[in-house]
Amino acid sequence: MKTYRYMLKESLDAAELAEDLKVQIAVNRFCDVKISHDEHRNEIVVHLPEADGTIEDVVEIFMADYKTGELIE
């Protein structure tokens, strides 16, 4: 699995945005994606299965306007 940490703009609520991302993932019918948030750091953590660029593209497009930074683990 790949883990992505998205640091969010301070004006955004990590919990609310994580729920919106979960809806987007469900609409695209992807499974095995785990999404959580960290309120203290105001970030979203996304665990993706290996070698699936399609899921990565959907997440990247969704997060483009919300993130201030990204860390791939």
- Which distant-in-sequence residues (6+ apart) come within 8 Å of 70 by Cβ? 4, 5, 6, 7, 63
The reported pLDDT for the residue numbered 53 is 76
How many domains is the chain built from?
Answer: 1
Give 4-30 pLDDT, tens digit per residue.
999 999 999 999 999 999 999 999 998
Is the pTM for the entire model greater than 0.95? no
Asked if 16 and 8 touch (Cβ cutoff 8 Å), the reply is no
Which structural domain, as residue segments, surrounds residue 11?
2-72
CATH of the domain at 45: 3.30.70.2860
Give 34-71 pLDDT, tens digit per residue.
999 998 999 999 999 876 678 899 999 999 999 999 99
